[in-house]
Structure 1
Amino acid sequence: MQKNDTAVTAITDIGVNGEGIGKVDGYTLFIKDAVIGDTVEAKVMKAKKNYGYARLMKIIEPSPDRVEPVCPFARKCGGCQIQEMSYERQLAFKEQKVRGNLERIGGFDGELLDQVMEPILGMENPFGYRNKAQFPFGKDRNGNTVTGFYAGRTHDIIANTDCALGVPVNRKILEIILEYMEQYGVSPYDEKSGKGLIRHALIRYGFQTGEIMVCLVVNGTAKDLSHAEKLTEKLCTLEGMTSISISPNTERTNVIMGKTYEVLWGQGYITDTIGGIRYQISPLSFYQVNPAQTEKLYSTALEYAELTGKETVWDLYCGIGTITLFLAQKAKSVYGVEIVPQAIDDARRNAHINGIENAEFFVGKAEEVLPKYYAAHGENAAAADDADNADDMAHADVIVVDPPRKGCDEALLDTIVKMKPEKVVYVSCDSATLARDLKMLCGNGYELKRVRAVDQFPMTVHVETVCLLSHKSPDSVINC
């Protein structure tokens, strides 16, 4: 097919960015806003040799799973890719996405997956679930200051202060900020010129505590924010306001947050609880955005670990210690590893405020910290007089990994294989890299026992997955 050609096609799948996928005489078309089950007319906008990108021109026959989106900006906004698909169909799609990647990339047999895959964990109400949102500021075509979300694959702001996935208080906060900017002539940041002050507003909300954080990302310093006291005064009228800060970011970059933050009012964090564990969350902390599903996700990981109180556990990519502290309630000792120093500071503080003394944290890359630790303590274990201590130093009974989308580093996987933990619990936000890593581990002494998808991000194509791997000879011992 060529650019500007039109074609009628049935939509049979969804791409990684939420586009509907259809075929015309074997030629694949990616069509934004098309839903599985639709028959559509589309116009080719970009043509490659074997595939192309097309614009939805007309829905000839709507899918039985097509629904009216809750948000009027759903089609324009880049935040929700599949809001026009019924939630039941979203869950089925995500479950099949995980299974498909495990079969195609991981090489796992369909009959095995029939045995080990458990039903996806969805939400009763798949809206209003986000405890964090980052809103860019800019100017519209008429020169008015606006905030909202970027349109898909662009940095054009769709003006909207009332996101259907966020909490209601976001709207009030954004309206206060916009009113303040207009009243005192505070300019939004312009990406093209690098001028202007306010880049983003980060808003966090504690679902269990009701505490609110507002952090303004500014192209400057606190001194550049004129009449800041007037802004904090207005924000403080909102019930639950706990932390108001700024994060300087003067770099010409797409990275939202600066490297530091400064408190303007209140404290530098909010608190929230998941599964009875209390967490302090700073502006720079990584914290799962969907607390209701996070509790299901981490509870599943804890269930898969089957801890009895005698185990040594490593939690890699631990963030602020969310999974670590869950595990510490049931394990003998837990070691958390995270590359972000501020997150480790938060993790240690979170352990302290929860009275957890059997968790220790290390700053560094998981693929560097674990191999070094294993090499050092593996050698020392041979000379240890205390057998229990030797076991603790020489190996892990359970290793939990929750890596970024790129998955685990090869050096880390190699070390896991050498350490031979009885169980590996793999928490993943990308089922493609998950499948790749599971293939390696299952080719080196492990077998896949349980898999469960968790819908952490309704209305989007993303899905979390928890897997349990068991060593084929669980009674084996490392002799170092």
Structure 2
Amino acid sequence: MQCLHFDAGRCRSCTLLDVPRPDQVRGKEEHVRDLLAAYDDVAWLPPVVGPGAGFRNKAKMVALGTAEAPVLGIVGPPGPYAGLDVDLTDCPLYPPELQAAFGPLSELVTRADLTPYDLAPAVGPDGRRRRVTPRDAAARGELKHVLVTLSPDGELMVRLVLRSTAAVDRVRKHLGWLAATLPALAVLSVNVQPAHAAVLEGEQEIVLTERSTLPMRLDGITLHLRPQSFFQTNTDVAAALYRQAREWVDDIAPASVWDLYCGVGGFALHCAAPGRAVTGIEISAEAVASATTTAAELAALPPDVVVGDHDAAWWRGAMADVRFDAGDAASFALGSDADPELVIVNPPRRGIGADLAGRLERSGARHVVYSSCNATTLARDLADMPSLRPRRARLLDMFPQTDHYEVLVLLQRA
């Protein structure tokens, strides 16, 4: 992938961009194999490798510049562009449909007079802008970030992260214009993040459109993404991740499954089957609402509809014993007296932690499917579950051009 921003030193987010793609994947696989070297009987499947460019389904843009001339991108990294505003609307990681949205969104910033948030920038002796901390001066401006998500069907969810609710009515005033100018727009919301801190978003979300969810269709299953719900950044590789988990689970054919950190239900819904009890647990109530919506839709399919490889009757049976609850994954597991036959975990980068690992070690679960975006914490968690041994594993290159990746591991009780 060629990137003019990387070549010029304006952006260094793609830390492996100058490494050939096959070498990137090989290095990631060597890294995870080294971390799991103590388990010498793991069957490693070939890595899942998607496109190296145009794969990102979401953009997280810092709002810079002025309301009259907004810049969507990043603050320049150390080097010749340090502290400067860098426009990344043509980043080659974004597909054309995502890139095309930035022009209308920049115009919205101007029309709604959304002054980009700034910590009172100062000019140094060299004439360059320098950014200061909240302790140095009072912050000003309203617009902090512009977050855009693209669905597989080409629809968009746009979230404006504002310092306060002061500009919400100005944004709402231009909603009709934006919908006409950006026909792919499905959801527009304002997230309120008042803290003077490096926090991407706040707790309050104000949805301005009639629709509040973005349909993410994978293998026929429509996952409903709400503004504050998590979804993998690489749609093609995410679909492969769910397919691989489903294949392993169907081979085992457990009668009961826990999906911990279930998000919008990707693993749970892909791994459901008639006669299989599936419980999904997720801390985000919005994500649970989304997962519940998808389960209800699958249970109510018209008789002549086929989703994936199954007809409506199959899906009705599969959804009969699927439920989702909002709560902490570790607390749920620690507070449960019953054990499922199989557990799926998809934790954040910190991993599942010693408490949950210990609970799974003591449980009657025969298998665990562990999806990890941080193999270092995966290895630590495995050490806390010595009787659950990795049997199969697969690297998924979810984040090309960086040293990050996803790895899916099937554990079996020894």
**TM-score, length of structure 2 as denominator length:** 0.84
Give a deviation string over 1:344-370, Cα, whole Å, max 9, x none: 122212211222232112222211111
- 3-state SS of the aligned residue for 1:261? strand
The residue that corresponds to 2:335 in the other structure is 372
Tell me, yes or no, if the aligned pair for 1:407 and 1:437 is still in contact at 8 Å.
Answer: yes
SS at match of 2:286: helix
CA change 1:201–1:329 in 2 (3 A) is farther
Which AA in structure 1 matches 2:90? D
Kindly report which structure 2 residues correspond to 1:5-84, keeping only aligned pairs within 5 A, or say none: 69-74=1-6, 75-84=9-18
Measure the CA separation in 1 of the matches of 2:285 and 2:115. 32
Q: Do the aligned partners of 1:221 and 1:248 also contact (CA within 8 Å) in 2?
A: yes
Percent of aligned pairs with the same residue?
28
1:86 equivalenced with 2:20 (yes/no): yes
Q: Which residue of 1 aligns with 2:400?
A: 458
Q: Deviations over 1:293-347 (max 9, x none)?
A: 0111111112222356551001111111111111113661111111122211222
Gapped runs of 5+ residues in structure 1? 1-68, 375-393, 473-480
Does structure 2 conserve the Cα–Cα contact (< 8 Å) formed by 1:319 and 1:344? yes
Deviation at 1:215, TM superposition (A): 1.4
Out of 364-373 and 304-313, give the one that drifted further: 304-313
Q: How far apart, in 2, do the equivalents of 1:447 and 1:371 lie?
A: 21
Q: Which residue of 2 aligns with 1:108?
A: 39
Amino acid at match of 2:18: E
Indicate which of 119, 129, 132 corresponds to 2:46.
119
What is the rounded CA distance, in whole Å, between the counterparts of 2:18 and 2:264 in structure 1? 35
Q: Closer, same or farther in 2 for the Cα pair 1:417/1:239, shift >3 Å?
A: same
Matched, 1:186 2:128: no
Determine whether 1:339 maps to 2:283.
Answer: yes
For 1:195-214, list aligned pairs within 5 A.
195-207=140-152, 209-214=153-158
Q: Of 215, 231, 235, which aligns to 1:291?
A: 235
The residue that corresponds to 1:168 in the other structure is 96
- Supply the AA of the counterpart residue of 1:181: V
Deviation string, structure 1 residues 420-478 (Cα, Å, up to 9, x no partner): 2111111100011111112222x2x2222111100111111111001111112xxxxxx
Specify the alignment match of 2:73 in structure 1: 148
Name the amino acid aligned to 1:108: Y
Residue 150 of structure 1: how far off its partner (Å): 4.2
Aligned-pair distance for 1:199?
Answer: 1.0
Could you say if the C-alpha distance between residues 308 and 414 of structure 1 is closer, same or farther in structure 2, counting changes exceeding 3 Å?
closer
Q: Size of the alignment, in residue pairs?
A: 372
Q: CA deviation at 1:146?
A: 1.2
Q: Secondary structure at the match of 1:119?
A: coil
Relative distance call for 1:170 and 1:229 in structure 2 (3 A) is: farther
Counterpart among 138, 146, 149 of residue 64 in structure 2: 138
Aligned to 1:411: 355
- The 8 Å contact of residues 136 and 149 in structure 1, kept in 2 or not, is answered as yes
1:158 paired with 2:86, answer yes
RMSD of aligned alpha carbons: 2.2
Return closer, same or farther for 1:85/1:423 CA change in 2, 3 Å cut-off.
same
SS at match of 1:457: coil
Contact 2:55-2:235 at 8 Å conserved across structures = yes
Superposed CA deviations along residues 58-103 of structure 1, whole A, max 9, x for unmatched, are xxxxxxxxxxx52111243243111121111111111111112223
**Which structure has the larger Rg over C-alpha atoms?**
1
* Matched AA of 1:272: M
Task: For 1:88, give the aligned amino acid.
Answer: P
Q: CA deviation at 1:210?
A: 1.9
Amino acid at match of 2:119: E
Q: Could you tell me how far 1:263 is from its partner in structure 2? A: 2.1
Match of 1:478 in 2: none
User: RCO higher in 1 or 2 (8 Å CA, sep ≥ 6)?
Assistant: 2
Q: Distance in 2 between matches of 1:353 and 1:467?
A: 30
1:326 match: secondary structure: helix
Q: Aligned with 1:334: secondary structure?
A: strand
Amino acid at match of 1:200: H
- 8 Å CA contact retained: 1:336, 1:361: yes
**How far apart are the structure 2 equivalents of 1:155 and 1:271?**
37
Q: Unaligned regions of 5+ residues in structure 2, if any? A: 121-137, 300-318
Answer whether contact 1:351 1:357 (CA < 8 A) is retained. Answer: no
Work out the CA distance in 2 between the residues paired with 1:303 and 1:81. 33
Q: How does 1:276-287 map to 2 (within 5 A)?
A: 276-287=220-231
